[in-house]
Each structure stands twice: as C-alpha cells, then as structure tokens.
Amino acid sequence: MAKRSAPEVNAGSMADIAFLLLIFFLVTTTIETDSGISRKLPPELDENQPPPPVIKMRNLFTVVVNSNNDLLVEDELMDLKDLRAAAVEFLDNGAEDCSYCQGAKAENSSTNPTKAIISLVNNRGTSYKRYIAVQNELVAAYNQLRDREAMSRYGETFISMENRFNDARTTQAVKDKLKPKLEIIKELYPEKLSEAEPK
Amino acid sequence: MSKFNKKKGGELPAISTASLPDIVFMLLFFFMVATVMRENTLMVKNNLPTANQIEKLDKKDLVMYIFAGEPVDRYQATYGTSAKIQLNDKFAEVGDIQDFIYQERASKREELVPFLTTALKVDGESKMGLISDIKQELRTANALKINYVTKSGDAVKSNQ
C-alpha cells in the first residue's frame, strides 16, 4: 500500500475566529482607571454629644469656594496655584514648641501643626471639578510637609513609604517596620481637614 | 541569456497569511489580561476631574460605585439635563442611596463589611449640592470611607 500523507487541516478561518473573540473582548471590557482622593466622612452627629472644643482663630485656616468657583482664603481672594504654598506656610508656621517646623513663626498664624486645622467651606453651586482641585491642593500641602519630614528622618518620602506599605507584594516584616514610621509622621503632621455643610 | 529574462505573465505569489492568527491571538490575550469586564453601562456623562495626590483603589470587590452626572444624550429626552445619580444600571434618587448601601453590605461576607469603600465617580461639571446630598446620605448609612475617583493629571492646570 502506498504511504499517504495526512491531509492538511485548513487553518484559513482561524484568523476570523480569533478576530471575533478579539472584538468581543474589546467591546465588553474596559481598562479601569480606579484611583482617586480617599477621604473619610465624619460620623453622623450625636445629639447628646459634648460641644466641640474651642479653637483659636489663629489655628484655623479658612478656605471658601463660592458658586462662581472663586477661592477665598482667610477672607482674601486667591489663585488656585497659590493655595498649596499658603497652606504649607500656615501648617508649618510652628510658633510654639515645634522643633521640626521650618516656618516663619508668625504671631497671627498657627501655633503647631498638630493644632492647625484647615476648614473648607463650599457652596452648593461650586463645581465638582473645582472642589476636587482645592481638595487636591490641600492634600498636596500635607503630603509635601510629610515628605519633607520623612525624608529628613528616614531618607525616604512619605508617599513612597505609604505606597510600599499598601503594596500587596511587600512582606509582612517590611510592613511591620514601616508602620511605626508612618504613624510618627502622621502624628507630626496630622491631616486635620474639616468640611462644613455647604450653604 | 534567458536566465535573466523576467517571467512574463507570471502571477503574483500569494502573501502568506499563516501567521495572521498568531498575531490576532497575541492581541486577544493582551486584551484579556489587561482589561476587566464592564460591570455597569454608563447612563450619565462621566468626565472625571483631574488630581495628582491620588491613591489607588485595590481590592475591586470591596468597592461600591456611585455614578453621578448629566444623563447622556440618549436619555436626555426622558430624564432631562439636570445631574442625576446612577446606582447599578438604573437612575436613582438621593433617597435610594441608603438602600443601595445596605444591599451591597448584605451581599458581602460579614467580616469584609468594615473595609467597604464607596467610590464616587462624578462628572466634573456637576454641582457640589448633589455631592453634598450624596455624602449626607452616606453618613446616615454609616459608609464613611469614600474615594473621589479622578483621572491623574495636574489639577491646577485643568482648572484654568
């Protein structure tokens, strides 16, 4: 009997099948962009809660955004691009016993970063884009100070330490080492950002 | 001499398409690995604002999404042009948020409930009034961890 070679399978339609699958996945899936500014809301007010402690005016940095998206910082009109520097200056003033502050120690600004509070008030007509931009700048001010402090103490920025801490690939031993460092920095520059109910 | 003569009337050789499936499969695998299934069909405009002090939201299964913004053109005839909230695949009112949160909590394992985060995907042009209402509802439902989902980019420049 003559040897017959096996007939070749026609693979011409393979490309069509693959294209079909490809188009299906292109249509039904998305590349998710899930990152953003994390915040914690204050818990619902309790009726028989003790009244809040009195805060000195000099320890309060008021930021108001009105319905025309104008920015009013400490009762003065300000450009968004100057907000970060102004917030840093306020937080880092350190007029009273703050060894790590590098601010001007002015009489009319905050006494200590642990006491300084930024109050953000927005109007119901403020656009969300503007609100996020203001939030972003204020968070950036805190991060800038924390980075500086972490850099001088541990030789690594706060952000990169935090990223490493949140990374799932970091081992538990490294995480245990990072945690107290992060907590110290957070204690030196606590993020005290208060939001009033919009008017 | 005929060695160097060009063939006359010869057909063009067919381009081999044998490697085409391989190329397409490669693309297919890339998309299968790099993307995730779309869970919600967006019924609102969702041009997210930009920010650069952002944190990544990992653990996708522990995130609840609330969308808000103007309805897309297709729904504007029915629902108008004022900003609306979208929960799952439906338009919702502010009052529905609490129920939504309780439902989401009930569908998760009990020990994971404290880690649930609410991600707000809100159109940049919406007004803060709506967002404040949403936040107030979330406070009442005791869902305090929130994340304003943004694109990454310079926030100051995009606001000029």
Q: How far is CA A78 from the centre of its chain?
A: 22
Say if A133 is an interface residue toward chain B (CB within 8 Å).
yes
In a domain, B32, yes or no: no
Q: Do B150 and A129 touch (CB under 8 A)?
A: no
Task: Give per-residue pLDDT as tens, B124-147.
Answer: 888 888 888 898 889 888 888 899
| Residue % of chain B over a pLDDT of 90 | 1
Q: Do A133 and B156 touch (CB under 8 A)?
A: yes
Q: Do B24 and A198 touch (CB under 8 A)?
A: no
| pLDDT at B113 (0 to 100) | 86
In a domain, A34, yes or no: no
Option in B17, B34, B52 nearest A15 (CB): B17
In a domain, A141, yes or no: yes
Bridge pairing between strands B55-56 and B84-87: unpaired
For residues A102 and A94, give the distance between their C-alpha atoms in angstroms, rounded to a whole number: 8
In a domain, B17, yes or no: no
For residues B38 and A125, give the distance between their C-alpha atoms in angstroms, rounded to a whole number: 32
| Domain with B121 in it | 59-151
Q: What's the total number of domains in chain B?
A: 1
Helix (H, G, I), strand (E, B) or coil at A129: helix
Helix (H, G, I), strand (E, B) or coil at A149: helix
Option in A41, A124, A136 nearest B146 (CB): A41
In a domain, B118, yes or no: yes
Task: Give per-residue pLDDT as tens, A90-139.
Answer: 888 877 777 788 877 777 788 888 888 888 888 888 888 888 888 888 88
Q: What's the total number of domains in chain A?
A: 1
Q: Give which of A154, A150, A155, A149 is closest to A98, Cα–Cα.
A: A149
Q: Do A124 and B122 touch (CB under 8 A)?
A: no
For residues A158 and A144, give the distance between their C-alpha atoms in angstroms, rounded to a whole number: 9
Residue B67 tokens read as 């969308």
In a domain, A154, yes or no: yes
In a domain, A179, yes or no: yes
For residues A31 and B105, give the distance between their C-alpha atoms in angstroms, rounded to a whole number: 26
| Residues 135-154 in A contacting B (C-alpha not used; CB under 8 Å) | 135-137, 139-140, 143
Higher pLDDT, A31 or B28: B28
| Domain with A179 in it | 57-195
For residues A120 and B9, give the distance between their C-alpha atoms in angstroms, rounded to a whole number: 82
Work out the minimum CA distance from B37 to partner chain A, whole angstroms: 4
In a domain, A28, yes or no: no
In a domain, A4, yes or no: no
Contact list, B136 vs chain A (CB under 8 Å): 197
In a domain, B93, yes or no: yes
Please determine, for the modelled complex, whether the ipTM score is greater than 0.95. no
Q: Do B63 and A34 touch (CB under 8 A)?
A: yes
In a domain, B156, yes or no: no
In a domain, A62, yes or no: yes
Q: How does the average pLDDT of chain A come out, rounded?
A: 83
pTM of the model: 0.79
Residue ranges in chain B whose pLDDT is less than 70: 1-9, 159-160
CATH of the domain at B126: 3.30.420.270
In a domain, A13, yes or no: no
